[in-house]
């Protein structure tokens, strides 16, 4: 009789507890800007340019065409940064990828903002993995900012364990899920 009552209580608790939802934790600090009070709008001023002054310097147009790569071209050159189990520090093996991403951020992707997506393997609680994913994204952000990329162009999000690239139950697969991905935003 006790077993039946105990089983009923356990089943009821499981029924009412349900499954947790996995919403990504978003870093909104980078996107928050103070909005100034209402500003006066100035009247539009027109200016006439003489025809001899209207020539465009061809050397400046060549350098700007190099920095105006398409978003898909730049994203294809950015590779994920991988981390060890339960780690959020960028190791020396990943430093070359950080430097490459920083150079792209300073040259080819100057017109885009960057979103760093922190990811984890399936080990650990949901809350722990969301926090670890955010710490990983923050470590990559600090490394990129140290290389000269403007911090205001970088936002972070943690997907915890909810965005795996591999679902096998192997060490190699879990290692692929411990990463930070680069996504470009217009």
The model's pTM: 0.62
Sign of the Cα torsion 153, 89, 79, 118 reads: negative
Classify residue 69 by its DSSP letter.
-
pLDDT digits (tens, 9 = 90+) for 60-74: 333 333 445 678 888
d(CA 174, CA 182): 19
What contacts 183, CB < 8 A, 6 or more positions away?
A: 75, 114, 115, 116, 117
Reply yes or no on domain 23-28+65-186 having CATH 3.40.640.10. Answer: no
pLDDT at site 21: 56
Per DSSP (E only), the strands in the chain are: 25-26, 81-82, 113-119, 154-160, 179-185
pLDDT digits (tens, 9 = 90+) for 123-181: 989 999 999 999 999 999 999 999 999 999 999 999 999 999 999 999 999 999 999 99
113-119 vs 25-26, strand pairing mode: unpaired
């Amino acid at each position: 009789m006790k077993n039946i009552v105990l089983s009923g209580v356990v089943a009821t608790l499981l029924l009412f507890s349900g499954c947790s939802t996995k919403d990504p934790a978003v870093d909104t600090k980078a996107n928050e800007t103070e909005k100034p009070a209402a500003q006066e709008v100035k009247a539009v001023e027109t200016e006439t340019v003489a025809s001899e002054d209207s020539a465009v310097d061809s050397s400046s147009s060549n350098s700007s065409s190099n920095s105006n790569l398409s978003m898909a071209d730049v994203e294809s050159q950015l590779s994920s940064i991988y981390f060890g189990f339960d780690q959020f520090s960028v190791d020396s093996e990943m430093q070359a990828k950080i430097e490459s991403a920083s150079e792209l951020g300073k040259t080819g992707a100057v017109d885009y903002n960057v979103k760093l997506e922190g990811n984890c393997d399936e080990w650990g609680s949901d809350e722990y993995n969301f926090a670890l994913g955010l710490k990983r994204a923050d470590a990559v952000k600090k490394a990129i900012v140290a290389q000269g990329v403007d911090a205001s162009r970088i936002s972070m999000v943690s997907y915890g364990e909810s965005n795996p690239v591999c679902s096998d139950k192997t060490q190699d697969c879990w290692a692929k899920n411990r990463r930070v991905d680069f996504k470009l935003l217009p």
